[in-house]
Amino acid sequence: MRRIALAISSFFSIIAQPEFAARVAQLRDGVSAPPVPPAPVAEPPVSAPAPVAPVWQAPPETAALQLLGLLQREARFVDFIEQDVAAFSDADIGGAARVVHEGCRKVLREHFTLASVRTEAEGSRITLPAGFDASAVRVTGNVVGQPPFTGTLVHQGWRVTDSRLPQLAQGHDARVLAAAEVEL
């Protein structure tokens, strides 16, 4: 099969490239052709680097499911979110939220190290220079023109500096966030 593919590609190269056709003819006639010098490589003109567009990466599904499973195990997070709370009093919801909050906080602190994106105090006036990291800072309000932008820091933002999700056993189905329980 490789020879068929080579023959077909050679056929089209012979038709499109006269130099290639001449070398193949010499090879077929048993005449050794002088080595072909490599084509000179034209250096691209020097210019300012083009801005790099962000590459969208989907997070690994297993890690997201694993985190959701940890939040369910420690905080009953999925149970709380899926519960219809309309019939409960604000005091009951607040009590449940306190338990969910405590469990979620435990998971975050055990499995992630977090840091603020910005170190200035919330409410501070800051200036964002040209070329600021738009994935780390979201500009809101009346955004007109080009940076530098001066505005008020509404939220410092969060960045994960370390992640420590546990290793999953082979064959573990991360889609099962909490196993069904059957009491006998």
Is the residue at 131 inside a domain? Answer: yes
Q: How many domains are there within the chain?
A: 3
Specify the pairing of strand 112-116 against strand 125-128. Answer: unpaired
118 and 107, same domain (yes or no): no
Is the residue at 124 inside a domain? Answer: yes
Domain that holds residue 155: 114-162
The structure tokens listed for 19 are: 């130099």
On whether the pTM is more than 0.75, the answer is: no
Residue 60 CA to its chain's centroid (Å): 9
CA distances from 182 to 20, 75, 106, 179 (A): 75, 20, 27, 9
> For every one of its 184 residues, what pLDDT tens digit does the chain have, with 9 covering 90 and above?
556 666 666 666 666 677 767 777 777 777 665 555 555 555 555 555 555 666 655 556 888 899 999 999 999 999 999 999 999 999 999 999 999 999 999 999 999 999 999 999 999 999 999 999 999 999 999 999 999 999 999 999 999 999 998 888 888 888 998 899 999 9
Is the residue at 168 inside a domain? Answer: no
105 and 123, same domain (yes or no): no
Q: What is the DSSP letter of 54?
A: P
Q: Where are the alpha helices (DSSP H) in 41-172?
A: 61-75, 77-82, 90-111
